[in-house]
Amino acid sequence: MTEQYQAYFSESDPEKRKKLLDAIEEADGQTPALELCRKLWRLRYEDPKSKRRVDLFLWEILELLCLYGTARIMKKSAKKDTEKALKALGISLASDYGQEGEQILQEELRNTVRLYLKTCESKSYGRRLFGLTELKDQDRPARIAKDMWRLSMGLPQRLQMTEEFAPLAKAVREEFCSQYADGEALLQKKEEEGNGGKNQKQ
């Protein structure tokens, strides 16, 4: 992957990302990789129903986390909603572009997970007890790990959709472990806890 693509996948601002894609086009011309990047960009940031700036990939991550809670009781409808969410994440798009397409999709999903992890540093994420108290800094990684586990293992296992989740699960694990030195251990702990923490509250 060229430096320009690396810059594109490490940027989180949609407008800057678009400019980076334009720069790639100027340098390399139209390529299948660029075409897929543009498709994913449109899928992620364009919503004809909304006038606001959107990040639909980030929303789908949230929706999948939410579905984990409902998947136990309303399994059928949760499965349907999950399929929709995975489609909205562009997972089916990449297969037409071969191995390179899968790599691009991976990077795009990692970019989304990175943004999600950044939001986990916010005050609202650490809110506890009706917003009266906050989570201690040292407790945050465990809570984030719980979310990451739900996305990468919990929900796929609960809905028996491990294969469909594979690209997302890989991106989630890789990004989480790249940001937290003990990421793998935290995820492993969640896994051991019990198919873990399926009765857990947020």
Partner 1 sequence: MEKIKNNKVVKAIGFNRIILIGVIILLYLIFAVLTPVLHSGADFVTYDRFMSALNYAYFIGFMALGVTFVIATGGIDFSVGPVMFASALISGFCLMKYNIPLPVCLIISLLIGLAFGTLNGYFVAYRFLPSFITSMASMQIAKGIGSVFTKTQSVTWPGTGNANSWYRYLVKWNNIPTGLIILIAVAVICAIVLNKTKAGRYMLCIGSNKEAVRLSGVNTKKWEMLAYMICGLMVGIAAIFYVGAYTTVQPGLGDTFNNEAIAACVMGGTSMAGGLASILGSIIGALIVALMQEGILAMGFTISYQYVLTGIIVLVAVTADIMSRKRKS
Q: Are strands 133-134 and 127-128 parallel, antiparallel or unpaired?
A: antiparallel
Residue selected from 129, 137, 163, 192 as contacting partner 1 according to rule CB under 8 A? 129
Q: Restricting to residues 12-51, which ones interact with partner 1 according to CB under 8 A?
A: 47, 50
Q: Are 56 and 45 in contact, with CB atoms under 8 Å apart?
A: yes
Distance CA 150, CA 179 (A): 18
Distances (CA, A) of 190 to 82, 106, 141: 22, 23, 12
Is 122 a binding residue for partner 1 by CB under 8 A? The answer is yes
Among 11, 25, 35, 55, binds partner 1 (CB under 8 A): 55
Q: Which of 11, 25, 35, 63 binds partner 1 (CB under 8 A)?
A: 63
Residue selected from 3, 26, 29, 124 as contacting partner 1 according to rule CB under 8 A: 124
Q: Which is nearer to partner 1, 29 or 131 (CB)?
A: 131
Task: Give the HSE-up count for residue 61: Cα atoms under 13 Å, Cβ half-sphere.
Answer: 26
Six-digit token string for 122: 């916010």
As a whole number of angstroms, the distance between CA 152 and CA 55 comes to 20
Binding region for partner 1 (CB under 8 A): 47, 50, 52-56, 58-59, 61-63, 65-66, 69-70, 72-74, 77, 115-116, 119-120, 122, 124-125, 127-132, 139, 142-143, 146, 193, 197, 199-202
